[in-house]
Structure 1
Amino acid sequence: MIDVTLENFESEVIAASMTQPVLVDFWAEWCGPCKAIGPILEKLEGAYGGAFKLAKINSDEEQQLSAAFGIRSIPTVILMKNGQPVDGFMGALPEGKVREFLDKHVQAQEGEPEEEELPAEEPGAADPAAQLEKLQHAVATDPSNDDARFDYVKALLLAGRVADAQRAFEPVANKAGVSRKIDALARWLDAVKFAEGGAQLAEFDAKIAANKRDFEARFARARLLMAKQQWTAAMDELLEILMRDKAWNEDLARKTYIAILEIIEPPKAKVADGQIPPDDPTVATYRRRLSSVVLS
């Protein structure tokens, strides 16, 4: 497994795929499903005995590469052969499905056990389906637990189950004005609904190119990026509004920016010594950027 950047992409992916299939995993630190699929891909790289090479690309840090591949959501996994993408999938598939995908294109090297029985193992905490079931049970057991509902609706949206997410959100929709977490979900669902209307980034790009102060176009573009789960790109667009007009449209850009931070903030968990771990680096960076713009 190798971490790929714009600088080594040509050698580690394009050139390497001329002699060996390269599996490219687009991921990000804040992405829960990415943390589920990542270990599976790393495990299978070893299990297949070098039949393919695993390359990981941090989509937040390498946005140019993400744009070049048209990445709309993560995790996205793309198989490269002879310098070209030949197949791929989105989302955190279980190990058995990933094996099925790989077996269409690569063959495990002789002498390396494929451990065919592994897909039948009991689902663990990293299994997205099991995690969703656990969150659903938590909400059913305690409908007033807004933290559990936030995690459940968020997981459904990350999995692309928009209708289910909307249904799970409806019982707490009236709390959006008093709960930052619920407000964040409301704005995310609104962005998804907006994207379903068929709007395209290109039309807003053209409007912004013609007028950099077209804040309606910039905000629409940020909503589309939010719907595509391209969080840092969405916040970058919102910052463009804030740098020009901090209070535009009753503080709409800042409120949406804060909503995205709420969505991508990993759950806080105490470590063994009772201390709170450091902030997620992406979240910390974008909090600083917001502060520098708002307070300037």
Structure 2
Amino acid sequence: MIDVTLENFETEVIAASMETPVLVDFWAPWCGPCKVIGPLLEKLETAYEGRFKLVKIDSDQEQQLAAAFGVRSIPTCILLKGGQPVDGFMGALPEGQLRQFLDKHLPPAADEPEAGPELEPELPAGSDAQLEKLQQSVAVDPANDEARFGYVQALLLAGRLEDAKLAFAPVLDKVAVVRRFDSLQRVMEAMHAAEASEHGLPALDARIEANRRDFDARFARAQSLIAQHRWTDAMDELLEILMRDKAWNDDAARKTYIAILDLIEPPKAKVADGQIPPDDPTVATYRRRLSSVVLS
């Protein structure tokens, strides 16, 4: 277990996760549940014999890192692979659930049989066949958050906002605790705001030209770009806000930027040897740009 600060974060977390999955435990000395889960995580790090690396971040001392990961309460644990977060959870889970979480993401132990190759062909993104398959997955297991996220994600990418809202409704109460659901809601709110706005891009551009710090206009412009599926243009606009005021409007620019990344990141392909698939180059580039601005 390693204590991480802003100074060693790049080495101990980002660079290390390129080789081995890194589990980040956000904690604080006053947090009772943190004292429960901490020893369990250290025990599992030993039991898993190098299949993941555990690091701890004191959220009181490292508020910049906690904000960068959107930590709302502690304990919060986030797993990184290939330099980016892939999953996480809040609260002090029992050991059995911690093992389930880890086993879902970690490569098999050396003496465990490896999974065979993924034989089922990938369906074209946004196709009727893909949407039908995702809809069936949700119908078979309505409590499967991963399946529901994938279905709503695909609907939004296909431009079916109203269908996405209907599919998302059963998990509205999870928005506060599941970051990726929060991301879906932010994207839908941006699309809805753009539809309801009386100001087009030319009017917003004129306002920004007159005042580079008109963050309301910049944010509205980013929402319009999201509605047009111009994802990178929207993130560029949000970065303009972040470079001038990182905490503007209760961190709205950073949270919306992360929401876009969560939406456009393609699902990780299954592999037989436990290796981490290559990152989507656009997502990887914009994650690095966000980190460089937020942590500067």
TM bucket normalised to smaller: 0.5 to 0.7
**Residue pairs, 1:111-122, within 5 angstroms:** none
Q: Do the aligned residues in 2 keep the contact of 1:235 with 1:257 (CA within 8 Å)?
A: yes
Instruction: Give, as a single letter, the amino acid of the residue that structure 2 aligns with 1:264.
Output: I
Q: CA offset at residue 291 of structure 1?
A: 0.8
Q: Which residue of 1 aligns with 2:130?
A: 131
- Output the CA distance in 1 between the equivalents of 2:163 and 2:222: 24
Tell me, yes or no, if the aligned pair for 1:124 and 1:130 is still in contact at 8 Å: no
Question: 1:240 aligns to what?
Answer: 240
TM-score (norm 1): 0.56
Say whether residues 1:186 and 2:185 are aligned partners: yes
Q: Which amino acid aligns with 2:124?
A: A
Q: Hey, what does 1:257 align to over in structure 2? A: 257
Contact residue 225 and residue 234 of structure 2 kept, 8 A? yes
Aligned-partner Cα distance in 1 for 2:216–2:283: 25
Letter in 2 for 1:183: D
Contact 2:191 2:227 in 1 (8 A): yes
1:145 alignment counterpart = 144
Structure 2 distance, partners of 1:276, 1:250, is 34
- Amino acid of the structure 2 residue aligned with 1:197: A
Counterpart contact for 1:218–1:237, Cα < 8 Å: yes
AA aligned opposite 1:196: E
Q: Which amino acid aligns with 1:126?
A: P
TM-fit CA distance, 1:197: 1.3
Partner of residue 276, structure 2: 276
- Structure 2: how far apart are the matches of 1:259 and 1:125? 24
What's the C-alpha RMSD, in Å, of the aligned pairs? 1.7
Amino acid at match of 1:230: R
Q: Which residue of 1 aligns with 2:166?
A: 167
CA distance in 2, matches of 1:268, 1:144: 21
**Please, which runs of 5 or more residues in structure 1 have no aligned partner?**
1-122
The answer as to whether partners of 1:222 and 1:238 remain within 8 angstroms in 2 is yes
Percent identity between matched residues is 68
1:217 maps to amino acid = A
User: Does the CA contact (< 8 Å) of 1:225 and 1:233 recur in 2?
Assistant: yes
Counterpart mapping for 1:19-34 below 5 A: none
Taking the aligned partners of 1:251 and 1:237, their CA distance within structure 2 comes to 14
Judge conservation of contact 1:208–1:217 (CA < 8 Å) in 2.
yes
Name the aligned partner's letter for residue 265 of structure 2: E
How far 1:125 sits from its partner (Å)? Answer: 2.6
Who is 1:223 aligned against? 223
CA contact (8 A) 1:204 1:220 kept: yes
Report the Cα distance in structure 1 between the residues aligned to 2:214 and 2:166, rounded to whole angstroms: 34
1:268 Cα shift?
1.4
String of CA shifts for 1:273-294, please: whole Å, max 9, x gaps.
3211121111111111111111
Deviation string, structure 1 residues 144-191 (Cα, Å, up to 9, x no partner): 111111111121122222211111111111211111111111011111
Partner residue in 2 for 1:267: 267
User: Is it true that 1:204 corresponds to 2:191 in the alignment?
Assistant: no
Separation in structure 2 between the aligned mates of residue 295 and residue 163 of structure 1, nearest angstrom: 36
Q: CA deviation at 1:229?
A: 1.1
Check whether the contact 1:149–1:168 (CA below 8 A) recurs between aligned residues.
Answer: yes
Displacement of 1:124 in angstroms is: 8.1
* TM-score (norm: length of structure 2): 0.56
Partner amino acid for 1:135? Answer: L
2:194–2:220: 8 Å Cα contact kept in structure 1? no
1:176 matched residue in structure 2? 175
Task: Give the secondary-structure state (helix, strand or coil) at the position aligned to 1:196.
Answer: helix
> Alpha-carbon deviations, 1:182-235, whole Å to 9, x = none?
111101111111121143111110110000000010011111111111111000
Distance 2:159 2:290 in 1: 28
Show the counterpart of 1:51.
Answer: none
Unaligned runs of 5+ in 2: 1-120
Cα displacement (A) at 1:269: 2.2
Q: Is the 8 A contact 1:180 1:262 kept in 2?
A: no
Does the Cα contact within 8 Å between 1:219 and 1:237 map onto a contact in 2?
A: yes
Judge conservation of contact 2:207–2:217 (CA < 8 Å) in 1: yes
Partner Cα distance (2:122, 2:285) in 1: 32
Superposition pairs of residues 90-105 of structure 1, within 5 angstroms: none
CA distance in 1, matches of 2:291, 2:162: 35
Q: Distance in 1 between matches of 2:239 and 2:122?
A: 39
1:37-56 to structure 2, matched below 5 A, reads: none
